[in-house]
Amino acid sequence: MEKTRRPIVVAGIDTEIGKTVISAIICEALKADYWKPVQAGELHLTDADKVRLLTNQHSTNIHPEGVRLAHPMSPHAAADLEDIHIDLANLTVPKTANQLVIELAGGLMVPLNHRKLNIDLLEQWQFPVVLVSKYYLGNINHTLLSWQLLKDRNIPFLGFVFNGKKNQATFDVILEYTKAPCLLEVNLHEEVDATMIQHYAEKFAKEEMKHKLKTA
């Protein structure tokens, strides 16, 4: 019997970084399932819906969100408006025979309630993390702070995915400082569709073979 694979968490250095598209790419590359613990806003077209549209539905099973919130804001604030308390103990990871990709809501320090943050959830789970970094002024600081936080909390780290038009100096200093691998480079200014997802999934799969992400 094949050993159960630990889920992979897709986290970002900020909001609007491209986590959902990167999650779809990884799902397609690894023939993995997808789950988002907390969805805040856009309930008419959730991140799970977007992944479903972008991936092969025969290989990727989309699991229902742990919590669905109507307002597009920090989960703790959206939950307050709906008189909901997000209890980390109730965010039960779906059971699946496939690899599972988990997409966080926002960055590592986003509050889920008035006492607990995304990083606390990661510390509880101890699942390996892929960190999505987007090129913009200030992203070195945000990327290194996020990486350092994962390191300080002893959370397993798989590597970076970089999004956007490449800045070589930024790319080099992040990898030099962290000694962590780049798993994929994407440019989400391109049209995002299933063909684009498949293209990058093939690239990610080659890195997966190199870094053995499935057995992380």
Q: Which residues contact 86 (CB under 8 A, 6 or more apart)?
A: 38, 67, 75, 76, 79, 112, 113, 116
For the purposes of burial, counting CB atoms within 10 Å of the CB of 168, is it exposed (0-12), middle (13-18) or buried (19 or more)? exposed
Of 177, 200, 179, 180, the closest CA to residue 188 belongs to 200
Triad 153, 2, 181: Cα angle to 5°: 40
| Catalytic residue, candidates 19, 36, 50, 134 | 36
The answer to whether residue 36 is catalytic is yes
The 10 Å Cβ neighbour count of residue 134 is 20
Q: Which residues contact 202 (CB under 8 A, 6 or more apart)?
A: 29
Whole-number Å distance between alpha carbons of 167 and 152 = 27
For the purposes of burial, counting CB atoms within 10 Å of the CB of 114, is it exposed (0-12), middle (13-18) or buried (19 or more)? exposed
Report residue 13 as tokens. Answer: 């250095």
Annotated active-site positions, please? 36
